[in-house]
Structure 1
């Protein structure tokens, strides 16, 4: 099995491409070993000292490292853990992994505007950030402010503020005049 790696705009994350589907439906973001218990693959990765976060996408795994470690020390054990997991034929997610969706916050009167915002995020934003090993998820719309949650390589990325303000905010304001600002939550 050959696993490719790609750098991301976030120097604390690497994107691992195992050459097969990881999560055919949805995504999963784990910020610590406790939340990763629903995923045998994420649990295995958190067992590697220096792993601070795991994000699972369609055909990739994004790993965030601790500040105290270096990729030169961490890359090989992560590659080994991913390879062993897939070669053993183990599931990526456990049977008890229910889809715990965070509640979206918006006024029901804004349903049409929220629909436009979500469509733009799904069709234009999420595919672009997935290429960099991350994800951006809609969380709410209040008084013109769009609330987004950043995951994977997007979380903690030095360029994420610029992506939000100059990319996503400008696009949303162009297509949806009701949008005045975009914030990360």
Structure 2
């Protein structure tokens, strides 16, 4: 048996693909050796000092590394170790050990300033990466979002931290569909469904500027604007089921361009919030009365 090594969109995660399926319609994620009690192979992999997370699903094992090594230096050795383990009869998953129990959660709906969007809050963290889905074709990283788009009244889905913001078409009222969506989300997660597959999250150019690697290359004013948005604005819009991203700052026009996501996108009150909230805050904190804020997708 020979494994195929494949890169993912996340440079810290590498896939080791098998020629056949290794799980029975189940996916497993292990953050440490104690969580991997039903996977002797995952436990063995955690003895490697650079292994951060192990994912096992369908026909592959994906490993997220710490930054102490580069994959080019160790990937062949890891593949060989997995191959040797399988050749000697080692078990990947022991089905009757630590059989995952149905994990009870709570899900409740919260209204947002956008009448077309409802925020469904879950009693556990769902993702490390905020993701917005405008249609079903964008949902490769999120099986949950893909399933939500099967409902004819779902227009957009936004997932961040511990909530899912669902934007609907006018064909249905929230009174008619809230219970149906809430129940579906609750059962999907309780039954072990994947909300976000971190191994295939595609890097979003809209969020690149927020990252440290790009942040350091921006001008001082842009950095200040991002810091203000992150510290003062994002927590407030997140509470309403939305998100805001810095796009650009034009020093000549004193114009700040942002991108609105989730409930903020298309919200009737977003223009008021931009002008009377964010714009005034930036004028005050940057001590520049000429600052103008506009949303590219408002």
**TM-score, shorter chain, exceeding 0.5:** yes
Q: Which residue of 1 aligns with 2:171?
A: 68
Q: CA deviation at 1:146?
A: 0.4
1:120 aligns to what SS in structure 2? helix
Aligned to 1:141: 249
Return the alpha-carbon distance in structure 1 between the equivalents of residues 166 and 148 of structure 2: 8
Q: More deviation in 72-81 or 43-52?
A: 72-81
Q: Which structure exhibits the higher relative contact order, with contacts defined as CA atoms closer than 8 Å and separated by 6 or more residues?
A: 1
| Aligned-partner Cα distance in 1 for 2:145–2:124 | 16
- Given that 2:108 and 2:182 are in contact with CA atoms closer than 8 Å, whether structure 1 keeps it comes out as no
Name structure 2 gaps, 5 residues minimum: 1-104, 210-215
Hey, what does 2:118 align to over in structure 1?
14
Q: Is the 8 A contact 1:48 1:77 kept in 2?
A: no
Q: SS of the counterpart of 1:148?
A: strand
How far apart, in 1, do the equivalents of 2:148 and 2:196 lie?
Answer: 13
Report the CA distance between 1:96 and its aligned residue: 1.9
In structure 2, C-alpha distance between the alignment counterparts of 1:154 and 1:32, rounded to whole Å: 17
- Aligned residue for 1:38, secondary structure, equals coil
> How big is the shift at 1:73?
2.1
- Flag as ranges the 4+ runs of structure 1 deviating above 4 A: none
TM-fit CA distance, 1:110: 6.4
Kindly state the Cα deviation for residue 49 of structure 1 after the two structures are TM-superposed.
1.6
2:132 alignment partner, SS class: strand
Deviates more, 1:117-126 or 1:69-78: 69-78
- Return the alpha-carbon distance in structure 1 between the equivalents of residues 114 and 217 of structure 2: 37
Counterpart for residue 4 of structure 1: 108
- Superposition deviation, residue 176 in structure 1: 1.5
| 2:120–2:164 contact (8 Å) kept in structure 1 | yes
Q: TM-score, normalised by structure 1?
A: 0.91
Between 88-97 and 10-19, the greater mean CA deviation after superposition: 88-97
- Offset of residue 91 of structure 1: 1.9
Take 1:89 and 1:170, find their aligned partners in 2: how far apart are those partners? 45
- When the two structures are aligned, how many residues end up with a matched partner? 181
Residue of structure 2 aligned with 1:116, choices 224, 238, 245: 224
Offset, 1:109: 9.4
d(CA) in 1 for partners of 2:217 and 2:183? 51
TM alignment of 1:32-51, pairs within 5 A? 32-51=135-154
Aligned counterparts of 2:132 and 2:117: Cα–Cα separation in 1: 13
Contact 2:126 2:196 in 1 (8 A): no
Larger radius of gyration: 2
Q: Hey, what's the Cα distance between the residues in 1 that align with 2:221 and 2:149?
A: 39
Q: CA deviation at 1:74?
A: 1.7
Displacement of 1:33 in angstroms is 1.2
Question: Do the aligned partners of 1:39 and 1:92 also contact (CA within 8 Å) in 2?
Answer: yes
Q: Tell me the distance in 2 between the aligned counterparts of 1:118 and 1:100.
A: 17
Q: Which residue of the partner structure matches residue 180 of structure 1?
A: 291
In the TM superposition, residue 76 of structure 1 has moved relative to its aligned partner by: 2.2
2:155 aligns to what SS in structure 1?
strand
